[in-house]
Structure formats: C-alpha cells, structure tokens
Structure 1
Amino acid sequence: MTDAPPRFGIWALVHGSRAARQDPEEPFDASWSRNRALILEAEALGFDSTLVAQHTFNPYDPTKGQLEAWTASAALAGITSRIEIITAIKPLLYNPVVLAKMALQIEEISGGRFAINLVNAWNRAEMDKSGLPFPEHDDRYTLGDEWLSVVEPLLRGERVDHRGPHFQVQEAVIVPRASTRARPRIYIGGESEPARALAAARGDVWFINGQPIEDVAALIADVARRPRSGAPLRYGLSAFVIARATEDEALAAYERLATLAELDKPVLARQAIHIDPATVMHRTMAKSPRLGTNGGTAAGLVGTYDQVAERIAAFHQTGIETFMLQFQPFEAEMRRFAAEVMPRVRSRLGSG
C-alpha cells in the first residue's frame, strides 16, 4: 500500500485514438492543436500528469500523423501551470548528454514539473527507417542502464566522466541545474527481468501495463523485494477506462469500441511483423481480449462509476499511486471520469 494519495494522468494522443482508429465519434487526430487543448483541459479538470509517448513514425499506421514528443513537451511546459509532463525516451535515439540538457531545459520552462520515462524500443521499423541499430532485447536494457548512469548525475548538475562500452563522456556538466528540486523524476517502463532490475536500481516510479490486480500485486512484490538505495520505488499503472451509470451502458460502450477495433486488424497485422517478440508488454496483452494500448481494459476499469472507483481504490491498496488513463472518445470520457469517478475514489480512500 502507498501512503500517497492517488494521482490521475492521461496519455497524450500522440498517434491518435487508443482503442479504435475508425471511430466516427473520434476521428483520427494526433495534431499539436488537439493535444494542446486536451492537456490544458486535463489540467483544468484536476488531472495530475500527462504521458507523452515518443515515436518518430506512427507505430500502428505509418501513413498517419505522429506528434513529436520532445518539442511538444517543451511547448506544453510553457503553457501549463500545474500538471506534470512525463516524456518518453528511447536511449537508442538520443545521446545521454544531449538528452540531459534537453530535459533540464524543459524542467526550467515548467518550473519543476518535468519527468522522463525511459522505455525499451519494441518497434524495429522505427530504427530501421532512421538508420539506427536495433540490438537484442536484453542488450537494449544493458545500453539503457549505462545511458541512465550518465543521464541521472547530469540531471543533478554533477560533473560526469564516463568510459563505457556504449558512451564516452568527458567532464560534462549541465548548467543551469534544476532549481526547484534535485532533478526531474525518472519513470521506467517495461516488465521483463532487465526492466524490473533497472526500475529497482535507478527509477523513481515503475510503470506497469494494464492487467488484472493479482498480476499487478505480484509484479510489485517482486520488484519491492529487490535491493535499492534511496527513497522507496513508487508504482504507476496504465489503464483504459469505460465508466457509465449502469453495467449495461458500460458493456454497450465496450462492445461498440470492440466492434470498431475489428476494422483495424488488417493494418495492425501488417505492422505486427516489426514488433520484437521478446517484448513482455505484447506477450502480456496477448493473454486476453482488451481495448487500448499498454494493457488497456485488461486492468478491469470497465463498469459503473462505483465499480471503477472501487477497482482503482483496490489497485491503490496494492501500491499503485499513479494511474495513467486512456479514454475514447477521449475528451468526453475524460470529463466524465473527472466528474463521476475521481470524487468516488477520493471519498473511498479519504484523500479529499
């Protein structure tokens, strides 16, 4: 159990709709203008954070648009005032010194509300198109561990000299350093053994993909028992929410999206050849039908307002602090969640 109140975040719509891409109620739109309006509204509604996933090309349909994560996050930092901005990064794409400089600049723009989310690349096509190598799964985590061993002290304003198999850094120090705290927060994604080890050793928050509560509890127990220095690791969960006044309404909304999602299968099948089969996220998602990405509805947040609130409270009791949520149609369902579910969760947990 976490002693912190629950935090609610939203996935930015960096590559369009999360559950069904041919939804007449939510036409495809991954534009800056939509994401700008979405995150400003999320902040006004009381959401605590937003996760901006990082891809150069749309991983589900390369003919569609894809928001550029880091330039968009810098812009978001300048127009928001409270919401945390978490931006994903694949170590294969950015030199650690350059990335640390970018992160500290956004930290300054935001006034101390920035975080990085280190993720292991799973889409080989993205690297191939960019002319970059795509090492084997565990080798990518070895590289990520070394990359983060350079980035983390740089984020603290420390001088770094490093000689390793992937990076050589000479007397690097980033100025100015973070002014409101020691450094930006570090989120770690992934559920493989190397990802768990990296989260326990170097992360502030470990993101878990949506799945049943008993599986989430087992994952937390495994990582929590690992050796760690510094503050305790905190935990986040991705989930797709369908909440309605009645169970029948929630089921009908689920079935509508499930029917529409069937239309996406030909495109997704063509793109599946680029997915690294060693990626645990995709093996987990294949266990059962679900809507949304990163586990989606497998977390079970489909039902009445009270049922969804009770399930969130139960996840919080297992140790989940941050809930990174998806909806569709996004804006309307985000408003519904803020009005109907957030107050119920906080009432159950006595957190406001």
Structure 2
Amino acid sequence: MMLMSHPLPRFGVWALVHGSRAALQDPAEPYDASWARNKALVLEAERLGYDSVLVAQHTINPHDPQLDQLEAWTASAALAALTERIEIIAAIKPYLYHPVVLAKMAQQIEHISGGRFAINLVNAWNRPELERAGIGFAEHDARYAYGREWITVVDSLLRGERTSFDGEHFRVDDYALRPADPYRERPRIYVGGESEPARQLVADKGDVWFINGQPLDDVQRLIGDVAARARPQGRPALRYGLSAFVIARETDALAHEHHAHLFALAEKDRPLRERQQANIDPKAVMFQTFAQSARVGSNGGTAAQLVGSYDTVAQRIADFHRAGVELFMLQFQPFEADMRTFAQHVVPRVKTLLS
C-alpha cells in the first residue's frame, strides 16, 4: 500500500519537557527540562532545517512528580515569538482547559507565530495528574466522548465562526473570538491515540493522526484502517505522523551498540516505570502496544526500528513515507548531538531516495 501524497517527508523533534527521552540517568545527558535548554534546542532545530516541534503537555512530571516539568502552553507562546519558520505543536488535555479559553489561547499563539501553530489533542493516560487536581479521571471511552465535544467547540471557534453548542459537557451560546485567523482557516489539529474511539475521532475531526512508534507493517495496517473511514464533506484527506526514537551511526553495529547502552541505562529507571504503571489507564492502547517490544524512548521509541547506519535509517524512513507517513516526530539521546547528526547525514540520504 502506497499512500504517499507529499514528495518529501517533514521532520520534527520532541521538546524535552520532562528531560531525556530514553534514560533519565545518562551521564552523557544530565537531566534538564528547563526553559533555557528547550529554547536553545528548538532554535537550533529550526536552524538545522527541522519542520516542527511537539511540546507535550503535563502539569506534573509523569515519571516522577519530584522532577522538573516544562509547561507546554506558556513555552509554546514564547517559542512562537522567538522562532520564524518551525511549526509549533502544543499538546492539550481537554479536561485541563475549557474549550472557549483554550481556543482563545490557541488563536493568540497562531497570531504570534504568524500562522505556524497547531494543537495536538490527547485524551490523557496519567491518572494522578487529573485526580490530584480534583478534576477526576473518567473511564477511557468517556474521556474520548468529552474530547469529541471539546474539539467540536474549539474547531468552530478557531474558524472564527459564531458558535453555539449544547452537549452533555458544554453549553456555548453565540460565542465568537476576534480577531479571527488572518493566515488560514484555522490552526492545524493533530490527534493522538490508537483505540477505536481515537481512530474515529481523528477521522471525523483531525487533520493529522499521530501514530506511536511501531514496525512498518503495523503502521501500514493502522493507516489502512483510518484511511478507509469516511471524512466530513469538504475536509481534505487525513495526513499521518509517526513518533520515533532515532539512533543513526556510521555503521549498523555502532548504532545497535548505542541502543544496547541506552537500554542498559534505562533499566536504572525501572522503579520509576513500575510506579508509573499503577497510574496508567489499562485501556490505553499506547501502553498495550509498548508492552509488546523491547525499546527505548517514549511513544513507541525505537519500536519503529530507526536504528542503524545512516543508509539503513534513511531507507526505513523512505519506506514509512511511501506507506503514508508525512511527518516524523523524532527523539534522540544525547538529543542535541544526535539531532545534528540526523540533519547532516540522514536527511540528505532520505531526499536522495525519494527524489
């Protein structure tokens, strides 16, 4: 199956909102989730040619509440003002913001960025983040029902429409936000999640579906399922993004050696992961999928198999792109050094393969 609609893929990076992505106790990458580091990282990513940055949203660190955590929306607003080209994607958990308030915030960041802002709708898996705030943690499908109402209101408001809505969770009466978006119809909407409610939600409401890192055959099946679903009349075809942890070296052997090194370091975090497991919704498909593979990194990490020589990684990216993946949202460790290596050695090879 070949769904490639864009001649070349886009590449993005995950902001380090809660520190290192593979192992928290890496001597080569001391824990640092500060604004200063994230600002420098995103500015360098833009200079290197990366197309997007994803700023995940957590109010407390999902690994260990004693560790630092960058706030997504204030950071995204600041990045919008500091950057010139890169797309800024801020994740949002609907229970944390009323849709009218969030839509106004998103609209403002869209203006600050000059039309480079996007939201990533996620429906939460970390129970304490909501429960300890007194918000409550609804059952899996109920969270998606809430999120569907929420994004319906946000979508309408971002389009500059006069919005009225009467649902189970929200009642909005003749609301409109000004000034409207001068750059496009509205900011792009990314949707994450792989459960049945998530797949239907992205088919109905999303522009881009974020898929967690998995082998090519599994990604092809996921894309085939969602691509076959009806879209609302007038909506363009859905696009696809993939999260992946990249280890690219001069040879396959060197890459797999570094993977083994990170895997060993990640074992030091096992007590944190075991405590975290108790906070995870067992119906979250993401974590069911993760349990099936030995990997490093978050959101599937190295399960996408982007580990190998520069040529090996470039070929695998080309294969994913031909299967329909347009945006690769990447993780590295050590992040800054490997981000540079990827831009220098892998991206040109991908362009050659797909030209």
- TM-score with structure 1 length normalisation? 0.99
Residue aligned with 2:120, SS: strand
Is the partner of 2:315 in helix, strand or coil?
helix
Structure 2: tracts of 5 or more residues without a match: none
Counterpart of 1:2? 4
Alignment equivalent of 1:118, drawn from 121, 124, 141: 121
Q: Tell me, in whole angstroms, the C-alpha distance in 1 between the residues paired with 2:94 and 2:268.
A: 34
- How big is the shift at 1:133? 1.5
Counterpart code for 2:252: E
State how far apart, in whole Å, the 1-side matches of 2:5 and 2:204 are: 21
Matched residue SS, 1:14: coil
Task: Give the CA deviation at 1:88.
Answer: 0.3
Q: 1:268 deviation in Å?
A: 1.4
SS in 2 for 1:292: coil
Letter in 2 for 1:283: Q
Offset of residue 272 of structure 1? 1.3
Residues 205-241 of structure 1 deviation map (CA, whole Å, 9 limit, x = unaligned)? 0000000000000000000010102100000000000
SS in 2 for 1:207: strand
Whole-Å separation in 2 of the counterparts to 1:267 and 1:290? 16
Q: Specify the alignment match of 2:136 in structure 1.
A: 133
Work out the CA distance in 1 between the residues paired with 2:93 and 2:275.
Answer: 23
**1:142-181 residue pairs with structure 2 within 5 A?**
142-181=145-184
Residue 191 in structure 1 maps to residue 186 in structure 2? no
Give matches, 1:288-303, under 5 Å.
288-303=293-308
Quote the Cα distance in structure 1 between the aligned partners of 2:315 and 2:71: 36
Within the alignment, does 1:328 sit opposite 2:333 as a pair? Answer: yes
CA distance, structure 2, for counterparts of residue 137 and residue 30 of structure 1 = 29
Taking the aligned partners of 2:298 and 2:82, their CA distance within structure 1 comes to: 27
Give the partner amino acid of 1:268.
R
> What is the rounded CA distance, in whole Å, between the counterparts of 2:302 and 2:279 in structure 1?
24
Counterpart CA distance in 2 for 1:90 and 1:144 is: 8
1:85-106 per-residue CA deviation (whole Å, 9 max, x = no partner) reads 0000011111000000000000
Check if 1:50 corresponds to 2:53. Answer: yes
In structure 2, the residue matched to 1:252 is 257
Counterpart pick for 2:282 among 274, 277, 280:
277
**Does 1:240 find its partner at 2:245?**
yes
Aligned counterpart in structure 2 of residue 16 of structure 1, from 13, 16, 19: 19
- Alignment of 1:231 with 2:232, yes or no, is no
Q: Which secondary structure does the structure 1 equivalent of 2:125 belong to?
A: coil
% of aligned pairs identical? 65
1:214 to 208, 217, 222: 217
Q: For residue 316 of structure 2, what is the aligned residue in structure 1?
A: 311
How big is the shift at 1:128?
1.3
Deviation at 1:129, TM superposition (A): 1.6
Deviations 1:135-167 (A, max 9, x none): 100010001001111000100000111111000
Tell me which residue corresponds to 2:70.
Answer: 67
Aligned-CA RMSD value = 0.5
Distance in 2 of aligned mates of 1:344 and 1:271: 39
Query: By how many angstroms is 1:2 displaced?
Result: 2.0
How many Å separate the matches in 2 of 1:254 and 1:85? 29
Q: What displacement does 1:288 show?
A: 0.9
Unpaired runs of 5+ residues, structure 1, are: none
Question: Is residue 2:268 matched to residue 1:266?
Answer: no
* One-letter amino acid of the structure 2 residue matched with residue 302 of structure 1: V
The structure 2 residue matched to 1:96, chosen from 75, 99, 107, is 99
1:123 CA drift (Å): 0.3
Deviations 1:235-271 (A, max 9, x none): 0000000000011111111111011000000111112
Report the AA paired with residue 8 of structure 1. F
State the Cα distance separating 1:130 from its structure 2 match. Answer: 1.1
Whole-Å separation in 1 of the counterparts to 2:128 and 2:109: 29
TM-score, with structure 2 as normaliser: 0.98
* Aligned mates of 2:229, 2:196 — CA distance in 1: 12
Instruction: Tell me how far 1:80 sits from its aligned partner.
Output: 0.1
Distance 2:289 2:244 in 1: 14
Indicate which of 327, 350, 353 corresponds to 1:345. Answer: 350
TM-superposed CA distance for 1:173, in Å, is 0.3
AA of the residue aligned to 1:2 = M
Query: Aligned AA for 2:79?
Result: L
Aligned length: 350
Secondary structure of residue in 1 paired with 2:278: helix
Matched residues in 2 for 1:38 and 1:300: separation? Answer: 24
